[in-house]
C-alpha cells in the first residue's frame, strides 16, 4: 500500500461541518462592512518580497523568520503574504486610487501565511478579513473601525469582548520615546532577558510586551509613551476615547500594547474575547505607510479579524440551518417522487434525498444523528394519497403534504430560522 499523503504542517482542511459557522460569520462581516461603505478588493497571495520588508518592517519577527519566501523561475524574490495591509496599500498606489477618491474604504478576505510553530488556533495558513480606510486623518475614522468591529461581534452573538487600546505616537513622538526608552533600558540591561536585549537593538517597543517577571519589574519603572505624546497625538487619542465612552464600547487602555508590525502610528487596538487567550482582531492607524511605499502622504487606519480563531470559538455554538431529508421506502416511490421534488425544489434551503433501501427506522435514526429536523417520507401509502408524509423531528408531529403543495411547504420551512445569528 502506498503511503498516505497528508496536509502539510500548519495547513488544514476546513470541513463542511465547520464551514457552516464560517459562512455565517463571513456573511455578517461582509454585510456590515458594505453597510459602512466599504468595497471589496481581491488581492494576489504572492507579492514581491520587498513589499513586506518595507511595510511590515525588516526586523519584525514576521519578516525575519516567519515568511514563506521563494524564487520563481525568473529568479524574482517573492513571498506568500503574511498579512494583507501591505498589499492593499500597494494596490492603492499602483492604481492611483488616491487620485479618484478623497476617502477610500476597502476590505479583503483570504488566506495569509506565516511559518510559525502551529498551536491551537494558530496555523501556517490562516484566514483574515480586514478593512482599511485611506485618506482620513481624523480620529473618528479610528472610532469607526472600532464601531464596525463591535457591531460585527454583537451580530455574531458574542457579547463579552474588550478592546485594548493604546497610542504608540506619531513619527515624531514615537522616535523620541523610543530613544528615551532605550536609554532607560540600557541602564538595566544586565537584568534583562536575552530576547529583550535583542529587541532593544531593533524594536524597543516590543520590550514593553515581555512576559518575564524580571523584565516586567524594570518596565514598570520605565517611562511610558503617554508622557511623550505630542499635542497632536494627545488630542487624537482623547477624541477617540471620548466618543468610545459615549458609545458605551467596552475598552481598556493598555500602555504596553505594542503590535508586531512596524508601520503603526497613534492608535493601535486589539479585540479580546473573555476567557480566550488570543486576540481575535487587531489593527490601528498607519499614517506613514503609504508614503513609505512611494505614495503621497496619506493617513490610514485598518483592522484584521482572525477567522480561524473567531470560528473556533463559535464552533461549539453551531447555528443549525433548516435541512430537509427526503426518504423513499421503495423503488416505485423513487420513480414517482423524484420528478415531483425536482419541480418543487427552491433555493435557500437544503433538501437532500436518500435513495438507499433501508428501513424507515434506520432512515429516521440517520436524520436524528445528522441533526436534520425535517423528514419527508414517501412510500406506498403516500403514493396512494398523492402526498408526502412530513415528520418534524423536534416534536415528533406528522402531517401530510400534497404533491402540488410541496413547493409552498419548502418556502414555509425556509422562513423558519433556527439560529441565534442574524445574517440580515
Partner RNA sequence: GUGGGUGUAGCUCAGUGGAUAGAGCGCCAGACUGUGGCUCUGGACGCCGGGGGUUCAAAUCCCCUCACCCACCCCA
245 binds RNA (CB under 7 A): no
81 binds RNA (CB under 7 A): no
212 binds RNA (CB under 7 A): yes
Residue with cell 497528508: 6
Residue of 22, 30, 36, 122 that binds RNA (CB under 7 A): 122
For 8, which DSSP code? P
**3-state SS assignment for residue 80:** strand
- Residue 380 labelled as part of a binding site: no
CB neighbour list of residue 46: distance below 8 Å, 6 or more residues apart: 78, 79, 80, 81
Residue of 21, 97, 244, 261 that binds RNA (CB under 7 A): 261
119 binds RNA (CB under 7 A): yes
CB-CB neighbours of 143 under 10 Å: 21
Residue with cell 488566506: 111
- Residue 405 labelled as part of a binding site: no
The CA-CA-CA angle for residues 142, 143, 147, to 5°, reads 125
> Phi, psi at residue 251, to the nearest 5°?
-140, 165
For 119, which DSSP code? B
Least gap, CB of 284 to RNA (angstroms): 9
Residue of 42, 102, 248, 369 that binds RNA (CB under 7 A): 369
Residue of 20, 61, 164, 232 that binds RNA (CB under 7 A): 61
121 binds RNA (CB under 7 A): yes
β partners of residue 109: 129
- The DSSP code sequence of 270-333 is EEEETT-SSEEEEEEE-SSHHHHTTS----EEEEEEEHHHHHHHHGGGPPPPPEEEEEE-SHHH
CB neighbour list of residue 210: distance below 8 Å, 6 or more residues apart: 193, 195, 196, 199, 216, 219
From the list 313-321, 335-343, 393-401, 408-416, the region that binds RNA by CB under 7 A is 393-401
Residue of 58, 381, 402, 412 that binds RNA (CB under 7 A): 381
Chain positions 186 to 205 lying near RNA, rule: CB under 7 A, are 195, 199
- Residue 239 labelled as part of a binding site: no
258 binds RNA (CB under 7 A): yes
Q: Which is nearer to RNA, 285 or 391 (CB)?
A: 391
What's the CA gap between 174 and 266, in Å, rounded?
9
1 binds RNA (CB under 7 A): yes
83 binds RNA (CB under 7 A): yes
**C-beta pairs of 413-417 under 8 Å, 24+ apart in sequence:** 413/322, 413/324, 413/349, 413/374, 414/322, 414/346, 414/348, 414/349, 416/322, 417/322
- Residue 263 labelled as part of a binding site: yes
What's the CA gap between 148 and 338, in Å, rounded?
46
Chain positions 339 to 358 lying near RNA, rule: CB under 7 A, are 358
132 binds RNA (CB under 7 A): no
315 binds RNA (CB under 7 A): no
Q: Which is nearer to RNA, 349 or 389 (CB)?
A: 389
46-48: strand order across its sheet: 46-48, 77-80, 69-71
377 binds RNA (CB under 7 A): yes
Q: How many positions of this chain bind RNA (CB under 7 A)?
A: 71
Least gap, CB of 259 to RNA (angstroms): 5
Least gap, CB of 74 to RNA (angstroms): 27
Least gap, CB of 257 to RNA (angstroms): 10
Least gap, CB of 174 to RNA (angstroms): 15
**3-state SS assignment for residue 253:** strand
From the list 88-96, 136-144, 253-261, 334-342, the region that binds RNA by CB under 7 A is 253-261
Q: Which is nearer to RNA, 47 or 270 (CB)?
A: 270
For the chain, how long is the longest CA-to-CA vector? 93
111 binds RNA (CB under 7 A): no
52 binds RNA (CB under 7 A): no
Chain positions 265 to 284 lying near RNA, rule: CB under 7 A, are 270, 277-282
Q: Is 145 exposed, middle or buried (0-12, 13-18, 19+ CB in 10 A)?
A: buried
- In Å, how far from its chain's centre is CA 388? 43
362 binds RNA (CB under 7 A): yes
Contact 200, 207 (CB under 8 A): yes
Q: Which is nearer to RNA, 83 or 287 (CB)?
A: 83
Q: Which is nearer to RNA, 4 or 227 (CB)?
A: 4
Residue of 364, 407, 414, 423 that binds RNA (CB under 7 A): 364
Cell triple for residue 324?
430537509
Chain positions 134 to 193 lying near RNA, rule: CB under 7 A, are none
Annotated binding site for L-histidine, which residues? 83-85, 114, 128, 132, 259, 263-264
Annotated binding site, which residues? 83-85, 114, 128, 132, 259, 263-264
Amino acid at each position: 500500500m502506498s503511503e498516505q499523503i497528508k496536509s502539510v504542517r500548519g495547513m488544514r482542511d476546513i470541513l463542511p461541518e465547520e464551514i457552516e459557522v464560517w459562512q455565517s460569520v463571513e456573511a455578517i462581516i461582509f454585510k456590515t462592512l458594505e453597510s459602512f461603505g466599504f468595497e471589496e478588493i481581491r488581492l494576489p497571495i504572492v507579492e514581491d518580497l520587498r513589499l513586506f520588508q518595507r511595510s511590515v518592517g525588516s526586523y519584525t519577527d514576521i519578516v525575519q523568520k516567519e515568511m514563506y519566501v521563494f524564487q520563481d523561475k525568473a529568479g524574482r524574490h517573492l513571498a506568500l503574504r503574511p498579512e494583507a495591509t501591505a498589499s492593499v496599500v500597494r494596490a492603492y498606489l499602483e492604481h492611483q486610487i488616491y487620485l479618484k477618491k478623497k476617502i477610500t474604504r476597502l476590505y479583503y478576505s483570504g488566506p495569509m501565511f506565516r511559518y510559525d510553530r502551529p498551536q491551537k488556533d494558530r496555523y501556517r495558513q490562516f484566514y483574515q478579513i480586514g478593512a482599511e480606510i485611506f485618506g482620513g486623518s481624523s480620529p473618528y475614522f479610528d472610532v469607526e473601525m472600532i464601531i464596525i468591529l463591535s457591531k460585527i461581534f454583537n451580530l455574531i452573538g458574542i457579547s463579552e469582548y474588550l478592546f485594548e487600546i493604546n497610542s504608540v505616537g506619531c513619527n515624531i513622538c514615537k522616535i523620541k520615546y523610543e530613544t528615551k526608552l532605550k536609554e532607560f533600558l540600557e541602564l538595566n540591561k544586565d537584568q534583562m532577558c536575552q530576547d529583550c536585549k535583542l529587541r532593544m537593538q531593533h524594536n524597543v517597543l516590543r520590550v514593553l510586551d515581555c512576559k518575564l517577571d524580571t523584565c516586567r519589574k524594570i518596565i514598570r519603572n520605565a517611562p511610558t509613551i503617554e508622557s511623550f505624546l505630542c499635542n497632536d497625538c494627545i488630542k487624537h487619542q482623547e477624541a477617540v476615547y471620548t466618543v468610545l465612552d459615549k458609545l458605551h464600547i467596552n475598552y481598556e487602555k493598555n500602555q504596553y500594547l505594542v503590535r508586531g508590525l512596524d508601520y503603526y502610528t497613534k492608535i493601535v487596538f486589539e479585540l479580546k474575547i473573555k476567557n480566550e487567550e488570543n486576540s481575535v482582531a487587531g489593527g490601528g492607524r498607519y499614517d506613514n505607510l503609504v508614503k513609505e511605499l512611494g505614495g503621497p502622504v496619506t493617513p490610514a487606519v485598518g483592522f484584521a479579524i482572525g477567522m480561524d480563531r473567531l470560528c473556533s470559538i463559535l464552533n461549539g455554538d453551531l447555528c443549525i440551518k433548516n435541512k430537509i431529508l427526503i426518504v423513499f421506502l421503495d423503488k416505485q416511490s423513487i420513480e414517482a417522487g423524484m420528478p415531483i421534488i425536482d419541480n418543487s425544489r427552491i433555493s435557500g434551503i437544503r433538501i437532500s434525498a436518500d435513495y438507499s433501501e433501508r428501513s424507515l427506522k434506520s432512515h429516521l435514526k440517520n436524520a436524528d444523528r445528522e441533526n436534520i429536523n425535517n423528514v419527508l417520507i414517501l412510500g406506498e401509502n403516500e403514493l396512494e394519497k398523492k402526498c408526502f408524509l412530513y415528520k418534524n423531528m423536534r416534536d415528533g408531529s406528522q402531517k401530510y403534504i400534497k404533491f402540488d403543495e410541496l413547493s409552498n411547504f419548502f418556502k414555509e420551512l425556509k422562513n423558519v430560522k433556527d439560529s441565534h445569528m442574524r445574517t440580515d
